[in-house]
Amino acid sequence: MSQAATALPPFDGRAFINGQRCWAQAGARFDNISPVHGQVLCEVARGDGADIDLAVQAARRAFTDKRWCGLAPAARKRVLIRWADLVLAHAPELALLETLDMGKPIQYATQVDVNSTANCIRWYGEAIDKVYDEIAPTPAHALALITREPMGVVGVIVPWNYPMIMAAWKIAPALACGNAVVLKPSEKSPLTALRLAELAMEAGLPAGVLNVVPGFGTEAGTPLALHMDVDCIGFTGSTRVGKQIHVMAGQSNLKRAWTELGGKSPFIVMDDCPDLERAVQTAVGSIFFNQGESCNAPSRLLLHHHIKDAFVERALQLLPQYQPADPLHPETVMGAIVDRSQLDTVLGYIEKGRQEGATLLAGGQVARVDSGGFYVQPAIFDGVGPHMAIAREEIFGPVLSVMAFNDVQEAVHLANDHVYGLQASIWTRDINCAHGVARALRAGTVHVNQYDEDDITVPFGGYKQSGVGRDKSLHAFDKYTELKTTWIRIDSPV
């Protein structure tokens, strides 16, 4: 084991159920391998249906006796804000866990992942005592109250690319509304979710309100999605598994199912782009951020043929800035791919791109082999055809596919002719083109002359096979509450 790994404290991979750390009931464990150096960080509880059931029972008891949902919204707010403060107070520890678990550079784990997680928890805490219910405009002899109620037990299943942020986007609004939660983190990145749950209890969240069961998808995720006493499932992950989640919801108790899924976002640059240098920097920075392992990465670069060659030439000049390096070094911008199987997937797509006739301009080689971890040089393909696998399928790695177009109609057709509809971007100085294209693009978020703005105040989610429902913003409360109408007869004496 490397020097850095031996110097680290022991990690706790036990589940967190009913306020207690525990191993899986059957005693099964799995090795948690760090992509940074390929070494085992710790053993993790390998949860299965029995552990999910225990966690759901704990959550159900916590919900039924109202230890959390019975508190005033302002009291829940105070706990969530304390929790956000604790996340920030543990920033170095949480960032280190995130980097070791899934390979992202430590500077981004600290600046982006920890800060966004704390901000999300704080924002929903602050929001919950400021949202009002409704009174319907009914005739005078009756009063109709329209109120939001927590659903009960919410199951949450998240991926490994932003383990804390993806969890926070769901558990923060779900808890703020008064639900109890059972969270299953990805088997590739379980450690921060477990620490977040401990910190929540330290902040005052009652035992049983937030439970975390690590384990594999089919062993722990499926029993959660099929559980008859789970009222709602919030899922982020691949479209393949997301479709199964909707089926499982229907096969069991028709639990509400919300899915945030894959993407293949188009980044369209017109020949009147107001700032080509900023467009190149943004395109390259956005596709290669988080090693390309972002659902909203602009992996399809659609360039007007007038500017294509100059744009690509400049992108190639920027590439050396994104070479993989030690994720624990404070200046690294490109870290490790999450595991060997994801690295093989990325390399497989690069090979397929070549075979299908695209031109690999740079990158695509395995890197840092001596480290023992999993690294690949960022790759740029030119001459990509719309039917090639590297244009149609989500690679989830640092691979940019460049396509040329002749006019705006062709650009919009290429952008929309896809199963995904998560995000999109249009770069132009023509206000009519900007508005017209923004309306025409079938995507949950459209960026005009930028790509990197993001905020907890705006909804996040996709059209088409990018999922069902929205995370973030006040709209997330719609996912974790039921609407109730209460009619009250008024026999007025006056």
**Residues interacting with ligand NAD, by CB under 6 A?**
157-161, 166, 184, 186-187, 216-218, 221-222, 225, 236-238, 241, 244, 260-263, 295, 394, 396, 422, 460, 462, 466-467
Told to judge if 149 belongs to the known catalytic residues of this protein, a careful annotator would answer no
Cβ 436 to ligand NAD shortest distance, Å:
26
Cβ 468 to ligand NAD shortest distance, Å:
10
Cβ 166 to ligand NAD shortest distance, Å:
6
For ligand NAD, the closer of residues 178 and 214 by Cβ is 214
For ligand NAD, the closer of residues 99 and 428 by Cβ is 99
Element (H, E) at 435: helix 431-440
Dihedral angle sign, alpha carbons of residues 384, 389, 394, 399? negative
Could you give the C-alpha distances from 290 to 92, 107, 254, 327, in angstroms and in order? 18, 11, 35, 11
Q: Name the 3-class secondary structure at 126.
A: helix
From the candidates 177, 295, 394, 433, give the one annotated as an active-site residue.
295
From the candidates 260, 273, 293, 433, give the one annotated as an active-site residue.
260
Cβ 15 to ligand NAD shortest distance, Å:
14
The answer to whether the CB of 308 falls within 8 A of the CB of 404 is yes
For ligand NAD, the closer of residues 128 and 225 by Cβ is 225
Cβ 400 to ligand NAD shortest distance, Å:
16
For ligand NAD, the closer of residues 213 and 367 by Cβ is 213
For ligand NAD, the closer of residues 276 and 474 by Cβ is 474
What is the Cβ-side half-sphere exposure of residue 443, based on CA atoms within 13 angstroms? 28
CB atoms within 10 A of CB 386: 14
Could you give the C-alpha distances from 184 to 51, 70, 161, 463, in angstroms and in order? 11, 25, 14, 25
CA distance 461 to 442: 12
Told to judge if 134 belongs to the known catalytic residues of this protein, a careful annotator would answer no
Could you give the C-alpha distances from 267 to 108, 146, 380, 415, 487, in angstroms and in order? 23, 42, 14, 8, 50
Report which residue type is found at 12. Answer: D
Catalytic positions, written as ranges: 260, 295
